[in-house]
Amino acid sequence: MFETAIYAKPWIVAVGVNTVLLAIAFLLPKKLLTPMGYLNAWLLGVLLWGAVGWQAFAVVMAYFALGSAVTKVGFAEKTAAGIAEARGGVRGPGNVWGSALVAALCALLILGLKLSGQSDSWVGWLTLGLVASIATKLSDTSATEIGKAYGQRTFLITTLKPVPRGTEGAVSLEGTVAGVVGSIALAAFAAVIGLIAPMGIVICAIAAFVATTIESLIGATLEDRVPGLTHDVVNIINTLIGAAVAVGLAGLLGY
């Protein structure tokens, strides 16, 4: 019974904290998510906290806060140009799972390993993969939003020909730098709170850069041209690549 209580405690705390935060979010006049977006975020938050710990929850919360902040950068100009996020930047369920489905899957795998009594390298690698997936998404969001707002020269990644800001698959120096900074910032936060080792910051930054580059290629060539390959699906692919690259590098480097 005592052992059961130990396993149950993180889940009870997770439900309590996320329910309180959900209630506060619904009462605040400024919304970051739609009502269904908040409910899906509640489910995600409970899973991350219960399966991995408060640190994983904190990393995803940091992403949503920073991602929402960079979306608002230059929002008036982006709206006037017709390239701003829909709903005034307010996210829905698709955005929640497009950003964090891979992190949720990593959490479920970590939970499975813990319940089976295994604490080998895979727990550490999957934790790094979880962080890398979120760092990749913040890198993508930062590159896109800062590129839209401040990109002086925007090129299509496949041809390097100049294209208007907001074009799918377009890249800019300003956006690329913002993306790298975003991934490093999130990974550094994860290291500071003890979720990953300092070496993981470099691994996450490399993984995010590789993944966002591939995501730009997909955006320029396949997104919305292949049935079912929506923006949210591309985001899932993007974060999956980031997690996979991070886990692969961790294995190679002896993380």
pLDDT tens figures, 5-57: 445 788 999 999 999 999 998 888 877 788 898 999 999 999 999 999 999 99
pLDDT tens figures, 158-193: 888 888 877 887 888 999 999 999 999 999 999 999
Q: Read out DSSP for 88-115?
A: GG-B-HHHHHHHHHHHHHHHHHHHHHHH
Q: Which residue do the tokens 């959490």 mark?
A: 107
85: confidence class by pLDDT, cuts 50, 70, 90: low
Is the per-residue pLDDT at 119 higher than 80?
A: no
pLDDT tens figures, 202-240: 999 999 999 999 999 998 888 778 888 888 899 999 999
How high is the pLDDT of residue 186? Answer: 98
Contacts by residues 14-19 (CB-CB < 8 Å, ≥ 24 positions apart) = 14/45, 14/46, 14/47, 14/48, 14/49, 14/50, 14/57, 15/46, 17/45, 17/49, 17/57, 18/42, 18/45, 18/46, 18/49
How high is the pLDDT of residue 235? Answer: 93
Distance, in Å, from the CA atom of 11 to the CA atom of 7, rounded to the nearest integer, reads 8
Summarize the confidence of residues 98-113 as an average pLDDT.
95
Distance, in Å, from the CA atom of 250 to the CA atom of 255, rounded to the nearest integer, reads 5
